[in-house]
Amino acid sequence: MKQIPLLINGEFIASTSQQHIDVTNPANNQVIAQAPCATHEEMENAIASAKEAFKTWRNVAVSERARLMMRYQALLKTHHDEIAEILSQETGKTFDDAKGDVWRGIEVVEQAMNIPALMMGETVENVARGIDTYSYTQPLGVCAGITPFNFPAMIPLWMFPLAIAAGNTFVLKPSEQDPMTPTRLAELFLEAGAPKGLLNIVHGGADQVNHLLHHEDIKAVSFVGSVPVGQHIYKTATDNMKRAQCFAGAKNHSVIMPDANKAQVLNNLVGASVGAAGQRCMAISVAVFVGDSKDWIPELAEMIAKVRPGLWNDKDAGFGPLISDKARQRVLSLIEQGKQEGATCLVDGSEFTLSGYEQGNWVGPTVFSDVTEEMTIYKEEIFGPVLCCVVVDSLEEAIALVNRNPYGNGTSIFTANGAAARKYQHEIEVGQVGINVPIPVPLPFFSFTGWKNSFYGDLHAYGKQGVRFYTETKTITSRWFEDDIPHGPNMTISLR
């Protein structure tokens, strides 16, 4: 049985813990590895290692920190498909989907390579006579990241490269459900030349997370995951006087106007709704059909019904299994509730199994019509391959519907009318908006900007806001008296 190691002070070590968590292959639920629940001593050692490394790393030239990220980016690209294969086997994602997961993480590392420009401060000369004021951007210290199962490459790479490039050190607690991918990312980081203690990895569950949240040497916490856990982490971290950015749940709506390009709409909605088995915080889980566009629902259902789940290396598979049997049972329960509460199930994937892999966490593509706001399948984040179709009479109704929803991660509108698009982007209370783009995840030189119950905190991930989250601003007001300048033949100025 493969034992997942801890990374402490630049060394991969076997944990002494007697508690382990099974890592399973979602396609058949066979155990493929075990992740340890780090002991109290191991947690302390990881944090102490990061704290010690910070003493020297903060003084390393910013250009040298950038070059570390350049070397890391090159290694990630070289090992791109290898990482994707590891990721596929422990998450069940199709190979193409896994490659996208890795690539989006690489793009954030490329942003971290630009850290000298991102760390620049400001200056004003002569704020008063002979007095100048300028600011520096300086690192915080030891930062922590708590990451989810659904993007085990991309989301850790959202966090530690930017934090470390900014001069911090990092303790990562990845998801216990797929820890092999973050471990491989860390191996390549060390191969790139990362000094000891810059990145530490601990494994476990709630106890290990709470250890990080209460530890006085942790200065900032980044999290991606569910709403209840996100709320707990945000409250606990801030109660312990830490910075926190917590990305939580979502219920993303796509609004379809009657003047939209029908073929583009239907093709985009298929992948955006059931791709990655719906296990994306930016998945489209509600399609809002305005006016006559409702006539497209049957054709959309027919297209989604043709999407076939399968194994990670099946090139014809549309998506893979859910991450766990617990996740599968939850999705099946919500599908049943949708039927019981009066929604029309146009495509029912609840009985799907894959021949030879009947023990896997399979749910087929599912489509509901006649969905209302009162239904559980509308109110809850399903996190499965389930699309809810809602019909409204006008753009104003669609905007009101989306704005009433407690989540605000992402949304999109399909239309050929620029005025309608502008009205939507201006009035909608959602952090990320797509216009004729189904899943509007920004490239890393912008920030990932969820709103409402999709995000707790002030500064978002990556981009300029990510750098601000991992740094403090120091402002200096300086005055030098000209009378102190040496004059005459015996003038000496020391350059030491």
Tokens of 128: 């008063």
DSSP letter, residue 459:
S
DSSP letter, residue 457:
S
Give the burial class of 440: count Cβ atoms within 10 A of its Cβ; 0-12 exposed, 13-18 middle, 19 or more buried: middle
Tokens of 56: 């020297």
- Rounded to whole angstroms, how far apart are CA atoms 88 and 313? 8
- Rounded to whole angstroms, how far apart are CA atoms 129 and 131? 5
- Sign of dihedral through CA atoms 396, 399, 401, 406? negative
Side-chain-side CA neighbours of residue 241 (13 Å)? 4
Name residues whose C-beta falls within 8 Å of residue 94's C-beta, 6 or more positions apart in sequence. 88, 310, 312, 314, 317, 318, 319, 320
- What are φ and ψ of residue 229, in 5° steps? -70, -40
Helix segments in 174-296, DSSP class H: 180-191, 206-214, 227-239, 262-274
The answer to whether the beta carbons of residues 215 and 48 sit under 8 Å apart is: no
The Cα-based distances of 473 to 134, 202, 228, 469 in angstroms read 10, 30, 32, 11
Side-chain-side CA neighbours of residue 445 (13 Å)? 4
- Rounded to whole angstroms, how far apart are CA atoms 143 and 298? 49
Q: Is 389 a catalytic residue?
A: no
The angle formed by the CA atoms of residues 22, 26 and 28, to the nearest 5 degrees, is: 95
Side-chain-side CA neighbours of residue 247 (13 Å)? 25
Residue 60 CA from chain centroid, whole number? 28
The type of residue at 170 is F
- Rounded to whole angstroms, how far apart are CA atoms 170 and 431? 27
Residue in 37, 143, 246, 281 annotated catalytic: 281
Catalytic residues: 281
